[in-house]
Amino acid sequence: MRPAAAPGSLAEPGVISGPGVISGPGGMLEPGRKLEPGRPPELQGLLAGMAAAGAPRRTGRVVAVSGLGSEVTGLALPVGGVVRCGGGLAEVVSAGPGSLRCMALEPAARLQVGDDAVAAPDSGLVRIGPGLLGRVLDGLGRPIDGKGPLAGTVPVDSHQAPPEALERSRIREQLSTGVRAIDAFTPLGRGQRMGLFAGSGVGKSSLLSMVARGSEAALSVIALVGERGREVREFLEDDLGPEGLARSVVVVATSDQPALMRLRAARTATRIAEHFRDGGADVVLMMDSLTRVAMAQREIGLTSGEPPATRGYPPSVFPLLAGLLERTGPAPVGSITALYTVLVEGDDHNEPVADTVRSIVDGHIVLDRALAVSGHYPAIDVLGSVSRLESRIASPPVRAAATAVRRVMAARAQARDLIDVGAYKAGANPLVDAALRHQADLDAFLRQDMDHPVPAAVSGQGIQELAAKLAAGA
Ligand SMILES: Nc1ncnc2c1ncn2[C@@H]1O[C@H](COP(=O)(O)OP(=O)(O)O)[C@@H](O)[C@H]1O
Ligand SMILES: [Mg+2]
């Protein structure tokens, strides 16, 4: 006698096992019955397909459907497992006695009570490989650009543990971003993580595309999470352009996609960046926006029964952000320099996501709406931006020059009200005088056309010349 196979498993090719029955064109088969050659070919095909799937087919049932999720019985899957039901994919977000609570990964148009729920065998896998360059992917890493399948890629788990703290290399070298105001004032180290804080429409996406095209990094991975669909096409075609896309991998989950898909996009992009880093590359990862990733987790947390703790954000949001950001940074080989955009509307700096991100990253670049409105692009608020690693990565003469220019800018900012009403008297403050005399030079240095990246070495030279001019004038 053949020993009983584990319930629900396909013990060996050609043997049907388990408590269920499988119906095919050849009729019903009882469990444990061996298929002999000469069986109807349709049945052989069915079995071959199942064996090729490489995983047991397990089927449960949808017992409840609500706006945000569904409940499934008859399947034993861990949280994070994926089921196919109602024509779409859903992920297990919590598990209770005898049932699983699932949320949609893809919109399922016709999900209803009584539907089959089938465990998807390759849940949590992302395809990685050199064939990803120049491609646009969805949150699960599947191509959406119509350029066919991903050549030369292999599936891997979408989660990878971050490098051990003590094995990470130290950040010592600057990574040229091609943006003068960043390279001179808030230089980015290879493996540094920066927050880019701004309201909407101030130029975050444009700045990211400038870095994607102009940085010296081998390649960029760009996650667009929670953007409007229209913006994605504009970003790809107008901002990034074909030459920017050729050295990038773009992962997209638009605002209309389920929260889980938006969250997966963040993980998928991080995993792809890790793959290229593990090959020794210096990668730039850009996530636009991290706030929308946090909002996706808020939706998921609240749906799976977590309490709203901080301004509606359930507790799981904060470890999620910390975990995601810990995966980037320096590693024993290669590095992921990361730029995370954070939405700060109405100058609300106590907003919990902004607060948390600021405490994790190694610096922040702030974009200022007033500058953007006046046509000053990139609208970087130099005085409000900080790189915590500046002292380690910028050369002493460049640092000294940046400090001198900052002092002049700060003096001018303090005297702005007086200057605006014409009450400032020349000679009252030599720093303000220098700023007024060289306003055009300052502007010329800080403003930059999107299509003209400048290497950091040239910007370092430029800031020293600017500082010398200001000092001579003062
Ligand atoms: N460097 C730039 N040069 C010229 N215009 C810019 C620049 N950056 C942003 N803009 C203008 O600002 C608008 C909004 O920029 P965008 O990057 O889409 O903002 P956000 O991503 O913050 O919503 C753009 O449509 C463009 O008109
Ligand atoms: Mg944008």
Ligand 1 pocket test: pick from 200, 205, 206 the residue with the most ligand atoms within 8 Å of its Cβ: 206
Question: Which residue has better confidence, 33 or 278?
Answer: 278
CA angle 316, 320, 321 (to 5 degrees): 125
The Å distance, Cα 235 to ligand 2 centre, comes to 8
Domain 125-388 carries which CATH code?
A: 3.40.50.12240
Amino acid letter, 177: T
Residue 28's pLDDT is what?
38
Closest ligand 1 atom, CA of 201?
23
The atom of ligand 1 lying closest to the CA of 378 is 1
Which residue owns the Cα nearest ligand 1 atom 16?
203
CA–centroid distance, residue 128 to ligand 2 (Å)? 26
What is the pLDDT, as a whole number, of residue 474? 46
Residues 338 and 325: beta-carbon distance below 8 Å: yes
CATH match of 59-119 with 3.40.630 = no
pLDDT at 35: 43
Helix (H, G, I), strand (E, B) or coil at 207: helix
Which residue ranges make up each domain of the chain? 59-119, 125-388, 399-473
- pLDDT at position 72, please? 93
Exposed / middle / buried, residue 366 (Cβ in 10 Å: 0-12, 13-18, 19+): buried
pLDDT at 13 over 50: no
What integer is the mean pLDDT of 177-193?
94
* CA-to-CA separations, 362 to 122, 319, 359, 367, 415, in angstroms, rounded: 36, 17, 8, 17, 31
Higher-confidence residue of 38 and 4: namely: 38
**Residue-level pLDDT at 245:** 92
List pLDDT tens digits, range 242-284.
988 999 999 999 999 999 999 999 999 999 999 999 999 999 9
Largest CA distance in the chain: 103
Mean pLDDT of 149-156: 87
Q: How far is CA 447 from the centre of its chain?
A: 27
Ligand 1 close to Cβ of residue 214 (< 6 A): no
Q: Which atom of ligand 1 is nearest to the CA of 367?
A: 22
Predicted local distance difference test score (pLDDT) of residue 392: 87
Q: Residue 343: phi, psi to the nearest 5?
A: -80, 125
Residue whose CA lies nearest to ligand 1 atom number 5: 377
CATH class of segment(s) 399-473: mainly alpha
| Ligand showing the shortest atom-to-Cα distance for residue 202 | 1
Q: What's the mean pLDDT in 52-64?
A: 73
pLDDT tens per residue, range 391-447: 889 899 999 999 999 998 998 888 888 888 888 888 788 888 888 888 899 999 999
Instruction: State how far the Cα of 256 lies from the Cα of 279, in Å rounded to an integer.
Output: 34
Number of residues in the chain? 474
How confident is the model at residue 122, as a pLDDT? 65
- For the chain, helix (H) and strand (E) counts, in that order, are 16, 19
Ligand 1 atom nearest 208 alpha carbon: 17
Q: How confident is the model at residue 158, as a pLDDT? A: 80
What is the Å distance from ligand 2's center to 178 Cα?
19
Cα–Cα distance, 198 to 248 (Å, whole number): 23
Secondary structure class of 177 (helix, strand, coil): coil
Instruction: Report which protein residue has its CA nearest ligand 1's atom 2.
Output: 377
Residue with tokens 């799937």: 53
Q: Does ligand 1 lie within 6 Å of residue 206's CB atom?
A: yes
The reply to whether ligand 1 has any atom less than 6 angstroms from the CB of 205 is yes
Kindly report, residue by residue over 457-466, the tens digit of the pLDDT.
999 999 999 9
* pLDDT tens digits for range 341-360: 999 876 676 788 998 999 99
**Angle at Cα 467 formed by Cα 466 and Cα 472, nearest 5°?**
100
Which residues have C-beta within 8 Å of that of residue 440, sequence separation ≥ 6?
A: none
- In this structure, the strands spanning 116-119 and 82-85 are antiparallel
pLDDT of residue 11: 34
The reported pLDDT for the residue numbered 167 is 79
pLDDT(135) > 60: yes
State in Å: Cα 203 to ligand 1 middle: 4
C-beta of residue 284 within 8 angstroms of C-beta of residue 337: yes
- Distance, CA of 80 to CA of 164 (rounded, Å): 24
d(CA 21, CA 8): 10
pLDDT bracket for residue 21 (50, 70, 90): very low
What is the model's pLDDT at position 44? 56
List the structure tokens of 183.
């390279």
Distances (CA, A) of 91 to 72, 187, 328: 11, 40, 25
Mean pLDDT over 119-144 rounds to 87
pLDDT tens, position by position, 61-100: 999 998 778 899 998 888 888 898 888 888 888 888 889 9
Query: At CB < 8 A and 24+ separation, what contacts does 271-275 make?
Result: 271/126, 271/128, 271/141, 271/156, 271/158, 271/159, 271/160, 272/126, 272/128, 272/132, 272/141, 272/221, 273/221, 273/328, 273/336, 273/338, 274/160, 274/327, 274/336, 275/128, 275/129, 275/156
| Ligand 2 is an ion; residues with CB less than 5 A from it | 204-205
Rounded to the nearest angstrom, the gap between the alpha carbon of residue 148 and the centroid of all alpha carbons in its chain is 23
Mean pLDDT value across the chain: 84
Candidate from 18-22, 74-78, 150-154 with smallest mean pLDDT? 18-22
* pLDDT class of 47 with cuts at 50, 70, 90: low
